[in-house]
Chain A
Amino acid sequence: MNHQERQALEDFACRVRMGIVEAVYSAKSGHPGGSLSAADMFTYLYNRELRIDPQNPRWEDRDRFVLSKGHTAPGLYATLALKGFFPVEDLQETRRIYGYLQGHPNMNMTPGVDMSTGSLGQGVSVAAGMAKAAKYMGKDVNVYALLGDGEIAEGEVWEAFLFAAHYALDNLCVIIDVNGLQIDGQTKDVMNTDPIADKVRAFGLNAVEIDGHNFDEIEAAFEAFHACDGKPTAILMKTVKGKGVSFMENRAEWHGKAPNEEQYETAMSELRAQLAEVEAADE
């Protein structure tokens, strides 16, 4: 990608992060940490990778995205809104009783959401089923699932990997957000999942390790996915939980907590400054 394309992504990612903070602050609850760590991945997926049509969210031949770590809904909602699936202002209605932006994604209420998720470990199975169905139906559809590194302690994830490798689902791309933190602390202390790449490879997947905040590396990872025949791909992206908001970065307590008014103002002014920097570099 050229300089301009990279900057367009950086610009979009800043806006996704602002949307996340806005949604979680408005709802007075939600999960900013893992939404922010995956903001660059959401950005890349919805701008350069997924074949989708915001005007026709239920287009039958679209690529599918399953947010297996469903608690990071604010990241998905901010991205979908910025892509035009629904108005950006509606992010302030997240988690409202009469709203359509539920605490965890609901495929029947929110345009652009391909699967209802929230209970960890299930989304990756659903994505594998979608990929198998696409193959049976002869459709050129790719399926993407985003998981957390804490989530992969769920046994079902490994059942899904067995299934995906057994059926040679090379149209399935599993992305694991390795931010190293979960609710109770560091993943290596709560339930160590390392070495993830070795495990994933042993289960028959093609594993690609990248920096999840580097768009060139993200692009290369998806090129590796498209080039890989006969087996599913897992992108293991190293990220910083809470990325972009200084006081949330690498802090487990920001897994599932909303900022107060002062913290909200600080977070937004930091993100506005980052956006201004990206735009200034554009000139």
Chain B
Amino acid sequence: MNEVKKIATRASYGNALAELGRLYEDIVVLDADLSKSTMTNIFQKEFPERHFNCGIAECNMVAAAAGMAAMGLVPFVSSFAMFTAGRAFEQIRNSIGYPHLNVKIGATHGGISVGEDGASHQCCEDFALMRSIPGMVVLCPSDDVEARAAVKAAYAHKGPVYLRFGRLALPVIHDEKNYKFEIGKAEQLTDGSDVAIIATGLMVSEALKAEKMLRAEGIRARVINMCSIKPLDEEMIIMAARECGKVVTCEEHSVIGGLGEAVAMVLSQKCPVPMRYVGVQDVFGRSGPAWTLLDRHGMNAWGIVDTVEHLVKR
């Protein structure tokens, strides 16, 4: 079998910015001394005159981007998820969200797969924070193809968008030729009807692995890729709940306030079914190799299989 191509979505972010930069002069990129890690340095190499390093001062960077948007530019502000959604939350809320300015927040190193840097840098709260801002779009792509498409969709969208990217190289699961991305639309990846697994980001490829393992046990899972955490594809969620009767959500985020609770809010009102949540269970992470950490938190294919088995066989 051929080796699966792997690429980190933060690299996709840098590449997509450069692609967009060639087409549109109104794109500018702001970074806070992390351009090699967020990979906006790919854009910087090609367009140094519109890549603005703001130094280690994220609150100012985010509000300055709001000013640039008010002048008609389309700024992408970049840093780690912890320092954008986390540190600059109030600037995002008041200077971008409230005036509904056309700023795109490219947040990399989301979730605990940051790994060795430890809990201080592992942002598992960003979905919760960003979802709660009226008018904010929240996207978390699962692979290179989807990440590049999401960046382009964010540019085309008028209004604020939060994009979450990861540090780890992830398998490419989409075929670029037949792939179409739309904000607010989910993607059904497999056809099962015993249980629905709704996943986002890095957990999507793990959900696909879990689906194969479950099939060997005779459990057919419907895997749904939910890149668009806000707005949510309610229709697809309700259909999955109706046809599968059980739902498991999987995210590299706290189980508080993230994708799981967003799905639960839809289903509790429109089609209540038993649910389980794979994610960070209200604890801080720690230093360690990313995949070991994910395993420790039950956030991989095996963890998903365990959770599904408990739900289906209960």
Give the complex CA separation of A155 and B72 in angstroms. 27
Q: Tell me whether A187 is interfacial, beta carbon within 8 Å.
A: no
Quote the shortest CB–CB distance from B92 to chain A (angstroms). 10
9-residue interface stretch from B58-66, B163-171, B195-203, B276-284: B58-66
B70-A163 in contact (CB<8A): no
Chain B minimum-CB-distance residue to A107: B99
Q: Tell me whether B289 is interfacial, beta carbon within 8 Å.
A: no
A159-B59 in contact (CB<8A): yes
Q: Tell me whether A13 is interfacial, beta carbon within 8 Å.
A: no
B73-A122 in contact (CB<8A): no
- The interface residues of chain B lying within 8 Å CB-to-CB of A155 are 59
Contact with A along B93-106 (1 / 0, CB 8 A): 01100111000000
A108-B99 in contact (CB<8A): yes
- Considering only residues 126-149 of chain A, those with a C-beta below 8 Å from chain B are 126-134, 136-137, 139, 141, 143
When the two chains form the complex, which single residue of B67, B91, B98 contacts A133, counting CB atoms closer than 8 Å? B67
Give the complex CA separation of A277 and B116 in angstroms. 72
Interface of B, helix, strand, loop or mixed by DSSP: helix
Interface size class of A (residues with CB under 8 A): 35 or more
Q: Tell me whether B156 is interfacial, beta carbon within 8 Å.
A: no
B71-A130 in contact (CB<8A): yes
Give the complex CA separation of A116 and B91 in angstroms. 12
Q: Tell me whether B52 is interfacial, beta carbon within 8 Å.
A: yes
Give the complex CA separation of A133 and B66 in angstroms. 10
- The interface residues of chain A lying within 8 Å CB-to-CB of B63 are 122-123, 125-126, 129, 156, 160
- The interface residues of chain B lying within 8 Å CB-to-CB of A129 are 63-68, 70-71, 75
Q: Tell me whether B57 is interfacial, beta carbon within 8 Å.
A: yes
Interface of A, helix, strand, loop or mixed by DSSP: helix
Contact with A along B34-75 (1 / 0, CB 8 A): 000000000000000110101101011011111110111101
B98-A163 in contact (CB<8A): no
Quote the shortest CB–CB distance from B314 to chain A (angstroms). 48
Give the complex CA separation of A156 and B95 in angstroms. 13
- Considering only residues 159-177 of chain A, those with a C-beta below 8 Å from chain B are 159-160, 162-163, 166-167
B60-A115 in contact (CB<8A): no
Chain B minimum-CB-distance residue to A155: B59
Known: A106-B99, A122-B95. A159 touches B71 (CB 8 A): no
Q: Tell me whether B194 is interfacial, beta carbon within 8 Å.
A: no
In this complex, how many residues of chain B approach chain A with their Cβ under 8 Å: the count is: 28
- The interface residues of chain B lying within 8 Å CB-to-CB of A22 are none
A125-B91 in contact (CB<8A): yes
Quote the shortest CB–CB distance from A59 to chain B (angstroms). 12
- The interface residues of chain A lying within 8 Å CB-to-CB of B161 are none
Q: Tell me whether B90 is interfacial, beta carbon within 8 Å.
A: yes
Q: Tell me whether A198 is interfacial, beta carbon within 8 Å.
A: no
Chain B minimum-CB-distance residue to A160: B60
When the two chains form the complex, which single residue of A121, A130, A160 contacts B68, counting CB atoms closer than 8 Å? A130
Q: Tell me whether B28 is interfacial, beta carbon within 8 Å.
A: yes
Give the complex CA separation of A106 and B70 in angstroms. 13
Q: Tell me whether A60 is interfacial, beta carbon within 8 Å.
A: yes
A159-B57 in contact (CB<8A): yes
Max chain A C-beta neighbours (<10 A), residue from B57, B63, B100:
B63
A132-B95 in contact (CB<8A): no
Q: Tell me whether A119 is interfacial, beta carbon within 8 Å.
A: yes
Chain A minimum-CB-distance residue to B97: A116
When the two chains form the complex, which single residue of B52, B57, B66, B75 contacts A167, counting CB atoms closer than 8 Å? B52
A137-B73 in contact (CB<8A): yes
Chain B minimum-CB-distance residue to A60: B72
A136-B99 in contact (CB<8A): no
A163-B55 in contact (CB<8A): yes
Give the complex CA separation of A122 and B93 in angstroms. 11
Known: A128-B60, A159-B57, A163-B57. A115 touches B98 (CB 8 A): no
For this complex, 17 residue pairs linking A to B, each with C-beta atoms less than 8 Å apart, are A106-B98, A108-B99, A119-B95, A122-B95, A125-B67, A126-B64, A128-B64, A129-B68, A130-B70, A133-B71, A143-B67, A155-B59, A159-B57, A160-B64, A162-B55, A163-B55, A163-B60
5 smallest A-B Cβ distances: which pairs?
A129-B67, A129-B64, A125-B63, A159-B60, A133-B71
Chain A residues proximal to chain B, CB less than 8 Å: 60, 64, 66, 106-108, 114-116, 118-119, 121-123, 125-134, 136-137, 139, 141, 143, 155-156, 159-160, 162-163, 166-167
Chain B residues proximal to chain A, CB less than 8 Å: 28, 49-50, 52, 54-55, 57, 59-60, 62-68, 70-73, 75, 90-91, 94-95, 98-100
> Known pairs A115-B95, A128-B60, A156-B60. 14 more at Cβ < 8 A?
A125-B95, A126-B63, A128-B67, A129-B71, A129-B75, A130-B67, A130-B71, A133-B28, A133-B67, A133-B71, A136-B50, A143-B67, A159-B55, A162-B55
